[in-house]
Structure 1
């Protein structure tokens, strides 16, 4: 069976089901694939109707790991407004929680942010489930009375999602979310750190934190261990329509300095062929605990960082004023290993918050938003 046919068959229950049903306890179940819900983070969802970060039939030969990790739903969001007195979620996953250094909630869970109209989003709850289960349902809130709320639900970071349904009161209204300041997406390409390893829950991955700070859609194209700057991936990223900004944060997966010296110019040029004036922000790797103790590791990181900085400077000297460099070694602060990582290299929630706070002013400047 072909990959495309297999994927369609796996999704048939979702495709064939009605967009709205009511159960025997007065809960109206709705598919977020239909209006007035808005889905963010999946650039090809309008064409394919599946929760996947890259197209299922990309037209280029993707590295196997990238193709697999594209099914992980990091950065996906469901956005809407409702006056329901309660909010429920029903989910069918592609697999179970299995990571030793990441919570089940971060790998396989959904978390929920809410706000009264016109106010900032605040974290409310995370769906509860058995870590060995591939399907679950849970109540995200219950007020006891009708309250109009803007809602953002973040998808799992390290698992695929086959189906998701949103449950509200049978008589509740569900409407469109507030508009972005601009519909152009900020596209972040990178490693496991970009994907969200090892946030305790989805909303704490740094692209998701940034999405609450900056009112633009975000696309998380972090591929754990596999953000290596391949030209095939660059071509797909260049296909994303009308981007506001590219952030290239993939040094950590590149190995020897000559790898990033070879891949970065090709990657940038492929983006430039399609989007000659879109800002590009190149971010070097955050510091790891090994940098404190192993001179060769520290020198390796410094060499790769120097290559990125010098390439950006040379391109700017050649007339590309829309490419920029940001030194990632300073993002976590001086106590980076002790305070900000789970295993010496993957951030904790504190680490992700520091990354987001440091990137925010640079991104706002590049996309033309005031801080």
Structure 2
């Protein structure tokens, strides 16, 4: 018995020493600004902010906070690496909802183009804790996005966190591997403005939002301007969007504002966009069905009255403004009631269905404007 115990102790000590001797991987890091930024609409001092908010003192604190988040941005590159890493410096981080995983709050989502030329999910990773001052040392360590890749040259996209502000970002590869910028892998530049649905609330990965799904399926460069809870047809946002000189605009603009706000702001918003970009098509989407309506007569009445109001006002608006459209697809997330995370927001399966539902009508409109 004593011999057995001695043998077990020796084995444990051997394993401990072996673990201590295990070397950390050798990684070559490159600053992400040296690679290809995808989804960017505005020039900003911090490359991972979506708007230079300091230029607009009329933003509320919440609006400014949201527009500093990296939602919708991604880094594209080619590499022959067998392992890919991410190292980030975080500013403000928000755990938006109990239904929002760390993978979307502060994590990264890697897609790799397969042999058929399709962008394919590879990994979704995040630190196990929310980055903050207390956890700064722990979250400054690299995140291993993937190991065991082939040495073949491959194109990659890493989608950035949806509800975090980044102050710095590096992409790492195993030592000696190549990593280079590539041309933006999508066509045109289409601004997508919207609510938490567009921002990606309750998505299961940073690249699993409806704009990201639609971008990969169509090859169009959709630049997401999601503003959770604050997509309220603000004329100032319309001006900023117009100044981007995007080729087209897709607006999830009726999910947050009240009926009163919609009536008062829809025309000033369109005119604010048109001020700097008079000819680009503006496509408005009706909001989606919220599952919290299923057994609440009060909520059902509230939501249906807003949808009915939007249908009526947009019937008039599209006649008043050339190049303004309303895509009103029913049951965007399905009729089986299985896509909701919290009664309001879908999870990624619902966002995928939404992207599929609106793809054909949007492509038909864009084709009229020679955007293919």
With the length of structure 2 as denominator, give the TM-score of the two structures: 0.84
1:236 aligns with 2:240: yes
Corresponding residue for 1:30?
30
| Distance verdict in 2 for CA 1:228–1:179, change over 3 Å | closer
CA distance in 1 between partners of 2:318 and 2:128 (Å): 51
Cα distance change, pair 315–252 in 1 and its aligned pair in 2 (3 A): closer
Give the alignment partner of residue 212 of structure 1, picking from 201, 212, 216.
Answer: 216
Count of aligned residue pairs for this structure pair: 340
- Using the TM superposition, give the Cα deviation of residue 172 of structure 1 relative to its aligned residue in structure 2, in angstroms: 2.3
Superposed displacement of residue 153, structure 1: 0.3
2:177 to 172, 176, 182: 172
What does 1:88-99 correspond to in 2, within 5 Å? Answer: 88-96=85-93, 98=95, 99=97
* 2:83 pairs with 1:86: yes
Aligned mates of 2:119, 2:82 — CA distance in 1: 18
Q: Is the 8 A contact 1:101 1:343 kept in 2?
A: yes
> In the alignment, what sits opposite 1:364?
363
- Would you say 1:51 and 2:48 are equivalent positions? yes
1:150-179 CA-to-partner distances (Å, cap 9, x unmatched) read: 000001111111111011233322233354
Q: Secondary structure at the match of 1:166?
A: strand
User: Which residue is 2:353 aligned to?
Assistant: 354
Q: 1:93 to 1:27 in 2, by over 3 A?
A: same
CA distance in 2, matches of 1:179, 1:75: 14
Q: CA 1:39–1:294 in structure 2 vs 1: closer, same or farther (change >3 Å)?
A: same
Corresponding residue for residue 7 of structure 2: none
Shift of 1:60: 5.2
Using the alignment, how far apart are the partners of 2:237 and 2:57 within structure 1?
8
Aligned-residue Cα RMSD (Å) equals: 2.4
Task: Write the deviation string for residues 236-259 of structure 1: whole angstroms up to 9, x where unpaired.
Answer: 111113x1221121222112x121
3-state secondary structure, aligned to 1:252: coil
CA contact (8 A) 1:33 1:49 kept: no
Question: CA 1:109/1:260 → structure 2, altered by over 3 Å: closer, same or farther?
Answer: same
Structure 1, unaligned stretches of length 5 or more?
1-23
Give the drift of 1:271.
1.0
1:202 aligns with 2:218: no
2:230 corresponding residue in structure 1: 226
1:103 lines up with 2:101 in the alignment: yes
Tell me which structure has the larger Cα radius of gyration.
2
> Which moves more between the two structures, 304-313 or 154-163?
304-313
Structure 2 residue 243 is matched with structure 1 residue 251? no
TM-score (norm 1): 0.84
Mind listing any 5+ residue stretches in structure 2 that lack a counterpart? Answer: 1-23, 133-138
CA contact (8 A) 1:53 1:221 kept: yes
